[in-house]
């Protein structure tokens, strides 16, 4: 393993308030969400996917999106806030609440796209045109491509298909793209191969990698991505999250783990891993199921005193 030639800096887009909270059954009160988000932002995070403007029936946990985003943005005007939307109505609500970035999602996998949003891939691509037309000039437009590496129904996704769809998305004039390892089972070898094949199609556009950690490959895949020159990542404090429409998918890459990993390799994120792990432990103390390695360890805790032996 080598550490030469890595990017000097990396961007962390915190997704815990959206991806981490969305699958939690017990409703987190709005004021508590705002408090947790404030704690996350106190670590130095400058980009955050804060919520999703979807039907409350689909994701009850995020039914307070129109209250959370304005409340947080008022206190943190220097942070870029992303909101995920499924349709034009969601985009209208996101813009009204003050979203800086509107994120539209579809799946590369035909099976997963139908299971997730009841549309074919081509229907999703054509359907996002109205959203893009509405948002253009009012906020940035990001498109997230779920199951860009693996699918719970189809297995390994052909990287050439991913590259083809990147071209179709870029032709729409979007501002950034996210490639998602949605189910967290892609091996570092396959992950690297996909990145190498799709990289030419991504030249010149900011690209985020959204990595889950079901098989424990998240940190290794982040290292592989850095080796290939990618330096924008989604992660969630405490490793919370997991796609509710991807059977078996576990949590996200944990923000505190990624920050510590990158710091150890000389890649600057602008974040302090101790501050991040402190927030993760606050989430755990509240009763949320955190999965980050640092959170579960003694990292940052006082070292136990050595027992004094009698002479």
Determine the Cα–Cα distance for residues 275 and 284; give it in Å rounded to an integer: 15
Give the closest residue to 214 by CA, choosing from 239, 178, 189, 179.
239
Read off φ and ψ for residue 283, nearest 5 degrees.
-65, -40
Determine the Cα–Cα distance for residues 141 and 157; give it in Å rounded to an integer: 25
Determine the Cα–Cα distance for residues 16 and 227; give it in Å rounded to an integer: 26
Determine the Cα–Cα distance for residues 296 and 283; give it in Å rounded to an integer: 12
Q: Is 295 a catalytic residue?
A: no
Determine the Cα–Cα distance for residues 109 and 89; give it in Å rounded to an integer: 25
Determine the Cα–Cα distance for residues 256 and 128; give it in Å rounded to an integer: 34
If one counts every other C-beta atom within 10 angstroms of the C-beta of residue 132, the result is 17
Residue 115 exposed, middle or buried by CB count within 10 Å (0-12, 13-18, 19+): middle
Determine the Cα–Cα distance for residues 250 and 230; give it in Å rounded to an integer: 23
Q: Exactly one of 16, 142, 186, 243 is catalytic; which is it?
A: 243
- Residues designated as active site: 243
């Amino acid at each position: 393993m080598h550490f030469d030639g890595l990017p000097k800096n990396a961007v962390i887009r915190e997704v815990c308030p959206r991806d981490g909270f969305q699958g939690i059954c017990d409703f987190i009160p709005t004021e508590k969400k705002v408090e947790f988000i404030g704690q996350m932002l106190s670590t130095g995070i400058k980009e955050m996917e804060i919520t999703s403007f979807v039907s409350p029936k689909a994701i009850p946990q995020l039914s307070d999106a129109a209250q959370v985003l304005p409340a947080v943005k008022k206190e943190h005007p220097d942070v870029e806030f992303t909101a995920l939307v499924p349709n034009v109505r969601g985009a209208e609500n996101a813009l009204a609440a003050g979203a800086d970035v509107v994120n539209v999602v579809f799946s590369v996998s035909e099976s997963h796209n139908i299971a997730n949003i009841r549309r074919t891939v081509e229907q999703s691509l054509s359907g996002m045109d109205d959203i893009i037309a509405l948002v253009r000039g009012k906020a940035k437009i990001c498109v997230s491509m779920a199951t860009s590496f693996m699918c719970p129904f189809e297995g390994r996704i052909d990287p050439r298909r991913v590259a083809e769809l990147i071209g179709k998305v870029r032709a729409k004039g979007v501002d950034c793209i996210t490639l998602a390892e949605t189910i967290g089972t892609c091996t570092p070898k396959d992950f690297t191969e996909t990145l190498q094949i799709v990289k030419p199609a991504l030249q010149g556009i900011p690209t985020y990698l959204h990595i889950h950690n079901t098989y424990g490959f998240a940190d290794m895949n982040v290292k592989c991505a850095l080796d290939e020159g990618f330096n924008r990542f989604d992660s969630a404090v405490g490793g919370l999250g997991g796609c509710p429409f991807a059977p078996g998918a576990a949590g996200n890459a944990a923000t505190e783990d990624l920050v510590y990993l990158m710091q150890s390799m000389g890649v600057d994120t602008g974040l302090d891993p101790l501050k991040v792990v402190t927030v993760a432990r606050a989430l755990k103390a509240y009763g949320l199921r955190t999965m980050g390695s640092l959170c579960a360890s003694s990292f940052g805790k006082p070292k136990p005193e050595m027992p004094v032996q009698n002479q």
